[in-house]
């Protein structure tokens, strides 16, 4: 007996690659399973092309669209989006995602400061930084069953501890009056 799945456009989380080495490629492959929309910052293109995957959108500095489109010609069709020097690529990507009504996004990034910018993003998001998966807790209430030995990080540091060590399996409950992020090593 076989099962059939229909995947509608934008149903799977898009993948935004601002730092290709945020997690090991084996973990990236898991994010690619359902062929998401893939958006890549120009500085990461060589690494991503080396993975042998199809890129949908390339984010480049204004004025460099033609040269980058030429470098990515094997990826056609590809959409090249430019950002001005006065704006961050991150804000350009957020605008793009919102304009396309993409409701869920996985981000590969290099700096935890991105978490501050993405706190107010409307969609569902996970951010991967230095081998850690950061999940946003919009409601301010986090409850999850965790095995003993799990270490979680919290950002921003709104609790007395920024790291939580689970000494015995069970449900960890965290509650705050504002959204926060929980980081779990992969």
72-98: pLDDT as tens digits = 889 889 999 999 988 889 999 999 999
Q: What is the pLDDT of residues 5-46, one digit of tens each?
A: 444 555 689 999 999 999 999 999 999 998 899 999 999 999
Residue 48 has pLDDT above 70, yes or no: yes
100-105, long-range: CB < 8 A, 24+ apart: 100/10, 100/37, 101/10, 102/10, 102/14, 102/37, 103/10, 104/12, 104/13, 104/14, 105/13, 105/14, 105/15, 105/16
Give residue 130's pLDDT band: very low, low, confident or very high (50, 70, 90): very high
Residue 108 has pLDDT above 70, yes or no: yes
Q: How much is the average pLDDT of 86-111?
A: 93
Alpha-carbon distance of 165 to 184, in angstroms, equals: 11
Q: How much is the average pLDDT of 90-107?
A: 93
Q: Is cis: bond before 77, omega within 30 of 0? A: yes
């Amino acid at each position: 007996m076989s099962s059939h799945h229909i995947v509608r456009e934008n149903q799977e989380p898009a993948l935004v690659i601002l730092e290709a080495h945020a997690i090991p490629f084996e973990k990236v492959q898991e994010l690619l399973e359902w062929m998401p929309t893939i958006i890549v910052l120009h500085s990461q293109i060589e690494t991503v092309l080396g993975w042998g995957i199809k890129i949908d959108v390339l984010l480049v500095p204004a004025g460099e669209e033609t040269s980058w489109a030429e470098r990515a010609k094997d990826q056609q069709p590809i959409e090249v989006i430019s950002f001005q020097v006065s704006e961050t690529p991150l804000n350009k990507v957020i605008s793009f995602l919102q304009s396309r009504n993409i409701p869920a996004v996985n981000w590969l990034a290099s700096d935890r400061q991105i978490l501050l910018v993405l706190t107010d993003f409307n969609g569902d998001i996970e951010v991967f930084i230095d081998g850690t998966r950061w999940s946003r807790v919009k409601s301010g209430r986090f409850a999850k069953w965790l095995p003993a030995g799990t270490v979680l990080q919290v950002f921003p540091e709104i609790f007395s501890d920024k790291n939580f060590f689970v000494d015995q399996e069970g449900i960890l409950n965290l509650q705050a009056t504002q959204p926060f992020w929980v980081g779990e090593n992969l």
